[in-house]
Structure 1
């Protein structure tokens, strides 16, 4: 993805954020938006049933190298999001991105720079990024 996409998105958010201009409003709206993402995922499990969560303790042998840990760990999910649940989750994630960009705007931070820095860190650390 191009930096221009993130910059354009962040600029659009800046122009549209009228009602919730206070940092306090944006912080609470961002918290609410991630809660709505979580709720949409939970409803995909509990109301729709298109996905299931089957979680248990994950055992990692001391003999497994860090490079092979990903091969044995489970994401605890089974099934696949139906179109309806996928649409709702995408919408809620979009709302969350909106408030993340709004927070960046208020703090005079560039979302593209943040993503680029994180990408460089992930690329530099590679598999060792998992340890954080």
Structure 2
């Protein structure tokens, strides 16, 4: 059974997209929205300071260790939590990005919910062995 929220969202995006119907417009707008997400994360570090990036070389377990050791070893390099303002900005930018991803799906006659289900099934089947 399809999830009607996804279908409704996909239909709403299709009806809302007026100026940027060209696949080239959609691709470049999607790239622009990704850049805006990156910028919002950077600004939460450099301007607001609510989060801090503490990056260092990732340690990898020795060959004797099993794959579950990776979860303990690899780090996010992120400290702190987003403040309400930075959270609002990032939610808005990610929502904008989802709009253009959905527009791309519409242009290519792809169903967003089907894509999500396939990815979910792949993650459930392979689990941590998807190596992402």
* Alignment check: 8 A CA contact 2:61 2:73 kept: no
Q: Give the match's secondary structure for 1:78.
A: strand
TM-score, normalisation: structure 1 = 0.95
CA-based RMSD: 1.1
- Tell me the equivalent position of 1:85: 86
Alignment of 1:46-125 (within 5 A): 46-62=46-62, 63-125=64-126
Q: Distance in 2 between matches of 1:30 and 1:17?
A: 13
Q: Distance in 1 between matches of 2:70 and 2:85?
A: 33
Q: Which runs of 5+ in 1 are unaligned?
A: none
Q: Does 2:26 match 1:26?
A: yes
Bigger drift between 102-111 and 54-63 goes to: 54-63
User: How many correspondences in the alignment?
Assistant: 130
Deviating beyond 2 angstroms after TM superposition, the runs of 4 or more aligned structure 1 residues are: none
Q: Distance in 2 between matches of 1:92 and 1:29?
A: 12
Q: Deviations over 1:53-75 (max 9, x none)?
A: 01111111213210221122110
TM-score, normalisation: structure 2 = 0.95
Q: Deviations over 1:15-43 (max 9, x none)?
A: 00001010010000000001101100000
